[in-house]
Structure 1
Amino acid sequence: MNHVLLVDDDPAVREALSQTLELAEMSVTAAGSFVEAKDHITPSFAGAILSDMRMPGRDGFHLLDYAQKQDADLPVVLLTGEGDIPMAVRAMGAGAFGFLKKPCATDDLVATLGRAMRARAMVLENRRMKAQLETGDAASRMLFGVSKQAEELRARVRAVAMAGAEALILGAPGSGTSKVAEVVHLLSPRAMAPFRKAPAATMTPDTLQSVLDDTEGGTLFLDEIAALPETSQFALLQALDFDEGRPRVLAGSYRDLQAEVAEGRLTPELYYKLDVLRVRIPSLRERPEDIPELFRRYVDIACEQAALPRPEIPPELNARLMAQDWPGNARALMNAAMRFAMGIGDPEEEPGGGLAEQLARVERSLLIEALKRARGNATEAAAALDLPRKTFYDKLTRHAIRAESYR
């Protein structure tokens, strides 16, 4: 996404600007005129346009007008001479992203183009998400993430949805068991029937029967099945023995259900009746590469609900978020996104812990960043951190990091 289309008719200026931008780790496509540049300007262009205002033939105004017609959200930054500033101000009114007066400081040039490219990245990502929401299935629309674990979760949910039998949905607190249950329902043949979710702890035999009746052949999700009262456990068992017209039952839990059975809090008959299929939701600690996307989505939701402008999310904030363990999982990340969107306090959770815990978080973040740069190549990542291979793998194991997740 760090791509710049540079348009200037002066070869020496093009060369100097290209070198400056490449030193700032931007890729550059250089063009000497509007005619040379226009074929690169498309609605899918992923980057920013930097153009001189005054050029022979068609000038920066023509280029801006052409870019606006291709895509009104294409960011165009104009380079202006001393006498061109009133013209540049008019161009801003016509939709230019910004203008820089020649000669411009390198820091100003890089910072302005950086903002333009981040804005373009956000536009393209929002379009991608909108297209996914309009064309993807419920798993694509509602279960987010780019990691291997997220892909495996979506695939497992699709398979369980079509199988039709009872299922356990297991995940740590805040991981979204009820959302996964809803996706299972939406992807199943029962999707047109009702979906109900209820806390198991509140279910007396009578209320349980009432909820089962109200669900009318749809899907009932019982949250934290181990908290279901004993008398209701037997009532649920009886209901599950009758197939005709009853809803499909999905049960969620963050507890070790086998331990709950061993300690007598969950009847083994009910456990085995429900444990036909399983969906395990990975924690955020297991898939830190999903955190930036989830955080951005939650920020977008919060801004939309509160009618607020969408703020830029600095890369350094994403790095800090990825370095945290997030014991509260998606729910805690959503709360952090709300604070960030509202500008209330620090969006990060309180790190807490002593020096050893804080150093462990930093170490984990460095390991993840090295793997990302090496595209999951553990040998290359270990070399980048100047660590022996065995030491590197020991650290991956200690921090529950899988190198293959970054390929």
Structure 2
Amino acid sequence: MSGARRVLVVDDDAAVREALGQTLELAEIEPILAGSYIEAKDHIGPEFDGVVVSDIRMPGRDGFFLLAEARKRDPELPVILLTGEGDVPMAVKGIGEGAFDFLEKPCGPKELVGAVEKALKARALVLENRRLKRELERGDAAARMIFGQSAEAQGMRAQVRAVARAGAEVLITGAPGSQTAKVAEVIHLLSPAAPQPFVKRLAASLDEARLDAAIEAAGAGTLFLDEISALPAAVQLVLLDRLESPGEARIIAGTTRDLMAEMGAGRFAADLYYRLDVMQVRIPTLQERREDIPVLFRDYVAQAAEQAGIPEPEVTEEHLAGLMAQDWPGNARSLMSAAMRFVLGMPGEVQEAAELGLAEQMARVEKSLIAAALGRQNGNATATAQALKLPRKTFYDKLARHGLKAEDFRR
């Protein structure tokens, strides 16, 4: 069992706490049993990676005392209170004092495990955010600016760190809204040129004089050319010439368009493409890293609340489930916009999970998982079906049902 699935169970009734512990074990959750606050207190604090389930009525220091102490040591540690029949008003009082939830005794296995799973998810998000803040304090720009623990996010961070050290030209590709400029800045901050300027220019706005001025402004730092596919044809040849000449500025280019297709249409110089494509970083879509959406959204909400100068609103698990059910064709940029609307209390296009209905939620999640798998397998349908452990016919039936085409994911 992983450390992030632990529950401190506090109840003075040995038979009750043993029964609770057995229920949790069957759900593959590790119980830590304590008969009193004294036995439990050493586990309560910011270092504890689990959650707490505590009876309210106990001799001496009761569940309210435990809740108050937990709030002092770590206000974000979820505490679920257990209440006997007739004590519901007390439990509601506990919610007002910061309890995560309450359950009536005797509570069934489904209710207990459901409440604990919800609390564990909340705890995992808190701990992930704290880990990212520690990375920030250590000056790791990749961890600070590329959030998430999905395989795709971890792979991109590792790739960005390696590219940053190399010092050669870089081509950053991604779907619209994937924030190529942000990734370029991370590469710069992780590179030996970090103390030098980071200059960003829209490629479409450049002529020869402006290009030379940008290169000069970057000095020994980094020049990021955003949407390189829009660079005027005449300036493409100038840039190629500058790249072939010795210079101090490192050139990073970003694009949300298919440069190979642009080359085929005669709109982008092949020589420039191959000169820029020394190293390439591809930004995965939100569909490919759906499990990172809760962490990303919470961070965007915090940023939006700070920007607006208002308190940060609570983000419910139901709202996060609704976000994860969306396709997000606008990627990070549209998620940031959704966070701003959420902070300002403005209606948006995002439906919460409860509004979608279970069948629609499941269909959207299934579609996103298949799309993500196709992306990882470069559009190889056979490999994707094997990775998802689906019979070939079932896999193709699902592709047809969701309107997905394997060839759309080939790079």
Taking structure 2 as the reference length, the TM-score comes to: 0.75
Q: Does 1:300 align with 2:316?
A: no
Number of positions where the alignment pairs a residue of Structure 1 with one of Structure 2: 381
Residue number in structure 2 paired with 1:267 = 269
Contact 1:169/1:279 (8 A) holds in 2: yes
In structure 2, how many angstroms separate the alpha carbons of the residues matched to 1:24 and 1:123?
22
In structure 2, how many angstroms separate the alpha carbons of the residues matched to 1:321 and 1:69?
32
Deviations 1:219-277 (A, max 9, x none): 11111112112232232233223214x31111111222233223322223322322222
Partner SS for 1:43: coil
In structure 2, how many angstroms separate the alpha carbons of the residues matched to 1:6 and 1:284?
37
Question: Which amino acid is the alignment partner of residue 222 of structure 1?
Answer: L
Q: Does 1:284 align with 2:289?
A: no
Question: Which amino acid is the alignment partner of residue 133 of structure 1?
Answer: L
Residue number in structure 1 paired with 2:149 = 146
Q: What does residue range 7-86 of structure 1 map to in structure 2 within 5 Å?
A: 7-14=10-17, 28-56=31-59, 58-60=61-63, 63-64=66-67, 67=70, 70-76=73-79
In structure 2, how many angstroms separate the alpha carbons of the residues matched to 1:336 and 1:156?
28
Residue number in structure 2 paired with 1:325 = 327
What is the Cα deviation at residue 198 of structure 1?
0.7
Of all paired residues, the percent bearing the same amino acid is 53
Question: Which amino acid is the alignment partner of residue 38 of structure 2?
Answer: V
Contact 1:296/1:313 (8 A) holds in 2: no
Contact 2:288/2:368 (8 A) holds in 1: no
Residue number in structure 2 paired with 1:314 = 317
Distance 1:52 1:226, change over 3 A: closer
Residue number in structure 1 paired with 2:202 = 199
Contact 1:169/1:252 (8 A) holds in 2: yes
What is the Cα deviation at residue 193 of structure 1?
0.9
In structure 2, how many angstroms separate the alpha carbons of the residues matched to 1:45 and 1:275?
46
In structure 1, how many angstroms separate the alpha carbons of the residues matched to 2:103 and 2:281?
58
Question: Which amino acid is the alignment partner of residue 224 of structure 2?
Answer: F
Distance 1:341 1:115, change over 3 A: farther
Structure 2: which 5+ residue stretches go unaligned? Answer: 353-359, 373-383, 407-411
In structure 2, how many angstroms separate the alpha carbons of the residues matched to 1:112 and 1:164?
50
Residue number in structure 2 paired with 1:252 = 254
In structure 2, how many angstroms separate the alpha carbons of the residues matched to 1:209 and 1:362?
48
In structure 2, how many angstroms separate the alpha carbons of the residues matched to 1:113 and 1:148?
26
What is the Cα deviation at residue 51 of structure 1?
3.2
What is the Cα deviation at residue 196 of structure 1?
0.8
Distance 1:211 1:258, change over 3 A: same
Residue number in structure 1 paired with 2:215 = 212
In structure 1, how many angstroms separate the alpha carbons of the residues matched to 2:138 and 2:405?
34
In structure 2, how many angstroms separate the alpha carbons of the residues matched to 1:61 and 1:361?
42
Q: Does 1:228 align with 2:202?
A: no
Distance 1:26 1:400, change over 3 A: farther
In structure 1, how many angstroms separate the alpha carbons of the residues matched to 2:123 and 2:316?
13
Taking structure 1 as the reference length, the TM-score comes to: 0.75
In structure 1, how many angstroms separate the alpha carbons of the residues matched to 2:189 and 2:93?
51
In structure 1, how many angstroms separate the alpha carbons of the residues matched to 2:164 and 2:320?
33
Question: Which amino acid is the alignment partner of residue 256 of structure 1?
Answer: D
Contact 1:291/1:322 (8 A) holds in 2: yes
Contact 1:195/1:219 (8 A) holds in 2: yes
Residue number in structure 2 paired with 1:373 = none
In structure 2, how many angstroms separate the alpha carbons of the residues matched to 1:323 and 1:240?
44
In structure 1, how many angstroms separate the alpha carbons of the residues matched to 2:385 and 2:321?
20
Deviations 1:33-58 (A, max 9, x none): 23332343343223443434553455
For the aligned residues, what is the CA RMSD?
A: 4.2
In structure 2, how many angstroms separate the alpha carbons of the residues matched to 1:299 and 1:171?
23
Residue number in structure 1 paired with 2:342 = 340
Residue number in structure 1 paired with 2:241 = 238
What is the Cα deviation at residue 165 of structure 1?
1.6
Contact 1:80/1:99 (8 A) holds in 2: no
Contact 1:167/1:277 (8 A) holds in 2: yes
Structure 1: which 5+ residue stretches go unaligned? Answer: 351-356, 370-376, 383-387, 402-407
What is the Cα deviation at residue 131 of structure 1?
1.2
In structure 1, how many angstroms separate the alpha carbons of the residues matched to 2:330 and 2:24?
41
Partner SS for 1:286: coil
